[in-house]
Amino acid sequence: MTTTEALLLGRRRRLAVTMVGGFAGLVALSLAVAVVADRADVPTAAALTDRLVPLLVFYAPAPIAAVGGYARCGGPACLAVGAVPAVVFAGLAVAGTVFGVPGVGGDAPLGGVAAAFAAVGVSGAFVGYCAGVTAALLGDLVGIGSGGGDDEE
């Protein structure tokens, strides 16, 4: 597989799936803990999740996508990392509405909030992916980097 194909489409599919799935699990867990901490009125947990959730939702997609781009996971996987917070948030809101969890779902404009999360996440992931690809190409140029090892699956 050429370098261009590896960077654009991905060479390490298992790593890409692990990256996206692991990030989705982490975001889902942190959002669920935030809801439970808010419902249980636990101030310490609520303070922790008030700092952790924005970090995961808004800031984490860019560095994760940069690592994925450098590791040659491919553009689709790296951009999917940016969409993960929006999908998880929408799923949590729909589940909260269906199961009647107070304070989750309800009258909020779900489409608008999820679209805003997706816009922020995907744009950050795109920038991170571009940085990762640039780092991979520069590493290949000087003879170091992630180009070795075929993990094609």
Query: In this structure, is residue 18 part of a structural domain?
Result: yes
What pLDDT band is residue 146 in, cutting at 50, 70 and 90?
low
Give the range of the structural domain holding residue 84, as residue numbers without chain letter: 3-142
Query: In this structure, is residue 9 part of a structural domain?
Result: yes
Query: In this structure, is residue 15 part of a structural domain?
Result: yes
Question: What sign results for the dihedral spanned by CA atoms 84, 86, 88, 91?
Answer: negative
Tell me the Cα Rg of the chain: 18
pTM: 0.81
Q: Find the DSSP H helices in the chain.
A: 3-8, 13-40, 43-54, 61-70, 75-99, 110-142
Whether residue 143 has pLDDT greater than 90:
no
CB neighbours of residue 106 within 10 Å: 12
Query: In this structure, is residue 94 part of a structural domain?
Result: yes
Which of 129, 121, 119 lies closest to 61, judged by CA? Answer: 121
Query: In this structure, is residue 65 part of a structural domain?
Result: yes
Whether residue 153 has pLDDT greater than 50:
no
Query: In this structure, is residue 138 part of a structural domain?
Result: yes
The number of distinct structural domains making up the chain is: 1
In tens, the pLDDT along 63-83 reads 999 999 998 888 899 999 999
Query: In this structure, is residue 128 part of a structural domain?
Result: yes
d(CA 36, CA 75): 35
